[in-house]
Structure formats: C-alpha cells, structure tokens
Chains A and B, each alone.
Chain A
C-alpha cells in the first residue's frame, strides 16, 4: 500500500484543527461570557470598546489603595512594556502581542481582576469593564 505523505499531513492537520464556533479559544469564550453579563446588567450594552479599556487602564481612581491608584501604577502606561509590583517583582507585559500566553486560563483572569480591581478601584470590576480592558489588551 502506498501512503501519500501530503494526504497524511492533511488528515493530521484536520484532526487537530478546531471546527465550528463551539470551540473558539478561551479568550473568546470568556469575552462572550462578560458580554452576556454586561447585556443582562444593561440592555443598552452594545459591545466592548478597546478605547474605553485604554481609559480604564490609565485612569486614576480614588476608591482603592493610595499607592495603586491605577492599573498603570504597577503595569505601566504602555501595555507592551513590563510592569513592576510594589515589592520590585517584574510583571510580564499585559498586551497579548508582547505576552502571547496571557488570558488563556479563565480562572486566572478572574482571580487577577478580583484582586486588582479591589486594590485599584476599591470594588470589583463590572463585566463591561473587564471586557473593555481585555479587548484593549487583545488589540495591543
């Protein structure tokens, strides 16, 4: 029997390729979840905005801790550059282009939104805020 290497390769590729919209990546799934939660909270919600996400990232808040008034306080204004924790530890860039493995573990994303929003805003972030911020990072 003759094996055609190209056919084998094609079959193998097809076997590992995701098919259909049901198997979008974890980022898309999480964004979709935030979107439906945002829609539930506000019927006028019309999609996430990377522009609003950018504002959220750099804006200074007063509700949280004085030494971390903004996301940018630790992560830096430029999402593609590394950040720094108050204890001097380097933080990988938050932009996906600079840190391609980020935001692929939904539980980890939620963990850090919870902690960091509390530190910076003094409250949890809304689904829309999370989606906006994430959208900004995905375009960076």
Chain B
C-alpha cells in the first residue's frame, strides 16, 4: 500500500499547530480576551470606546466602575438604572475572577481585588506588556490615549491583543 506520508505529516503539523494556538488561547495564553457579546453592553459600553472585555478586570472593579458612571474617567456616562444593573451583572459574571478566569491568565497577578482598580492600563501585567512602547507613540494623533487599544491591536474588537 502506498501511504501519502508527506500530506499526512503536513496535515498533522497543521492540526497540532492549531491545537497549540487554540490551547494557548483557552488556557489564558494572555492575548485573547473574549469580546462583549451582550447587545446592551456592546451598545452602552462600546459607543465611546472599545467595549473592554469583562475578563480584563476583577468583579470588584466592575462594580466600583458601574457605581460611578456620573464621573466616568472625567466624563458623564450615566445611563438609566435598569440598564446599568443589567450591564453590571454581565460584567461581574464574566469578570477576570469570574467566568473570564480562564482568559485573564496572569492579568490579575499582583492585583488586589479588594483595591478594585479601575484602569486596565494600570494593571502590572498590562504595564509590563507595554513597557517597550515609546512615549511618542502614545501621543501619536492616531493613538492619543492608552484606552485606544484598536490603534495598535487591529483585532481587538474580536478579542485578540497580539502584538
């Protein structure tokens, strides 16, 4: 019998590579944070900025943030209380220390949930991952703020934050 070794080997290679990538993603390899799927959350949290993935902050942070939308990083982002409650539930359920745990990976390392940090960009792992980005790049007219993930991470809306 003539076994097609080469195509077989190639196929196996492709499969194992995909498994590796997928496995990394699922095990919190660090660069995949599932995007918001809830329509209300997407609409309310995603009209001014990227709707940040709930797995990027602990539940305590989301609660603290949602409790003060009147002063949302200097902007008034208040919404009606019913919508706010629904959004809070979603964020808390999928938080980095909730259902989002398998994606948040090391993002919560050195983070005390009791402190309820509000800025993803101040988490130690975030700072470490971005330490090589020079100051002028943050000030670039297409970036302007560290909250503008999309400026560099083109697939951020799909949840991918690779370099």
Q: Give me the interface of A with B, judged by CB distance under 8 Å.
A: 65, 85-89, 111, 115, 118-119
Task: Report the bound CA distance from A89 to B143 in whole Å.
Answer: 10
Is residue B27 within 8 Å, beta carbon to beta carbon, of the partner chain?
no
Render B134-157 as a binary contact track against A, CB cut-off 8 A, 1 for contact. Answer: 000000001111011011000000
The interface size bin for chain B is 10 to 19
> From residue A134, how far is it (CB to closest CB) to chain B in Å?
19
User: Chain A contacts of B142 at CB under 8 A?
Assistant: 88
Task: Report the bound CA distance from A89 to B49 in whole Å.
Answer: 6
> From residue A122, how far is it (CB to closest CB) to chain B in Å?
11
**Chain A to chain B: the 5 pairs with minimum beta-carbon distance, closest first:** A88-B148, A87-B49, A87-B147, A85-B48, A87-B148
User: Chain A contacts of B76 at CB under 8 A?
Assistant: 115, 118-119
Q: A85-B49, A88-B151 given. 13 additional CB < 8 A pairs?
A: A65-B74, A85-B47, A86-B145, A87-B145, A87-B148, A88-B142, A88-B144, A88-B148, A89-B46, A89-B49, A89-B50, A118-B76, A119-B75
Is residue B79 within 8 Å, beta carbon to beta carbon, of the partner chain?
yes
Residue of B nearest to A115 (CB): B76
Is residue B15 within 8 Å, beta carbon to beta carbon, of the partner chain?
no
User: Chain A contacts of B77 at CB under 8 A?
Assistant: 115
If over half of B's interface residues share one DSSP class (helix, strand or loop), that class is named, otherwise mixed; here it is loop
Task: Report the bound CA distance from A118 to B50 in whole Å.
Answer: 22
User: Chain B contacts of A118 at CB under 8 A?
Assistant: 76
Task: Report the bound CA distance from A119 to B75 in whole Å.
Answer: 8
Q: Give me the interface of B with A, judged by CB distance under 8 Å.
A: 46-50, 74-77, 79, 142-145, 147-148, 150-151
User: Chain B contacts of A115 at CB under 8 A?
Assistant: 75-77
Residue of A nearest to B157 (CB): A89
* CB-CB under 8 A for A89 and B47, given A118-B76, A119-B75: yes
One of B48, B74, B79 near A89 (C-beta < 8 A): B48
One of B46, B75, B79, B143 near A88 (C-beta < 8 A): B143
Residue of B nearest to A91 (CB): B47
User: Chain A contacts of B147 at CB under 8 A?
Assistant: 87
> From residue B1, how far is it (CB to closest CB) to chain A in Å?
58
8 example contacts (A-B, Cβ-Cβ < 8 A) are as follows A86-B144, A87-B48, A87-B49, A87-B147, A88-B142, A88-B151, A118-B76, A119-B75
Task: Report the bound CA distance from A4 to B152 in whole Å.
Answer: 61
Task: Report the bound CA distance from A118 to B75 in whole Å.
Answer: 9
Task: Report the bound CA distance from A85 to B77 in whole Å.
Answer: 14
